[in-house]
Amino acid sequence: MTSTDKYLAELKQWLADTADEPLEDMAAFFTKRLSDYEKHMAIWEKSYQNLAESLPVWCKNILDLGCGTGLELDKIWNLNPDIAVTGVDLCQGMLDKLSEKHSQRKLTTVCQDYFRYDFGKNIWDAVISFESLHHFLPEPKKELYQRIYQSIKEGGVFLLGDYTACCEEEEALLRGAYLEKRKRFGIAEGSFVHFDIPLTIEHESDLLKNAGFTIEKIWDAPDEATLLIARKTKRKGK
């Protein structure tokens, strides 16, 4: 049995064991776990640093989608303390902790669903998101990536650090379980719940490229979050 086969067998068993567990509201999930959130997320320490070091040195303002308590921002501000950040998150408790940690920084926090938040046009040097977008289906992400593309200045970047599916089978298994649970528990369309439905790197990249981005680099090291560096380049004929 290969490592992938073993992983998929364990995943199928976990899905069977948790089939009757209801899905938790997204904001409530993170509010409940706020006290030990940073300790839990410390496993991504190197990935936070990789994301920070991948940000172009000339960036002056960034938008962070699903910023949480700002673990990626801790690293970014260590490298560039003058950078201005707007952080968007569903959980007010997370944003309060972020503001507490970085009261002296150029920081604006927005407690809102980032699928509805107005990013503006040609505003940001960079947009970043870390371990957030794997909670959403590709259909809404397609539109989101188009809006992110429009909001970034020409030459700017979108840095996406996230959990990705090892293969199409994992992607399909998790998506199927997610949709079945939403239906069985009568979860209204537009309500956000906590459940991982990652895409493969190929499918995530396709969404970004279809939005207009050029994929410059994919960092997919073992035991680290996958990091996709997508740039907004000048389109031909413009």
CB 128 within 8 A of CB 64: yes
- pLDDT at position 126: 98
* Distances 194 to 16, 53, 78, 185 between C-alpha atoms, Å: 18, 29, 31, 14
Domain ranges of the chain: 22-231
CATH class of the domain at 22-231: alpha beta
pLDDT in tens, the chain (238 residues): 789 999 999 999 999 999 999 999 999 999 999 999 999 999 999 999 999 999 999 999 999 999 999 999 999 999 999 999 999 999 999 999 999 999 999 999 999 999 999 999 999 999 999 999 999 999 999 999 999 999 999 999 999 999 999 999 999 999 999 999 999 999 999 899 999 999 999 999 999 999 999 999 999 988 889 999 999 987 654 4
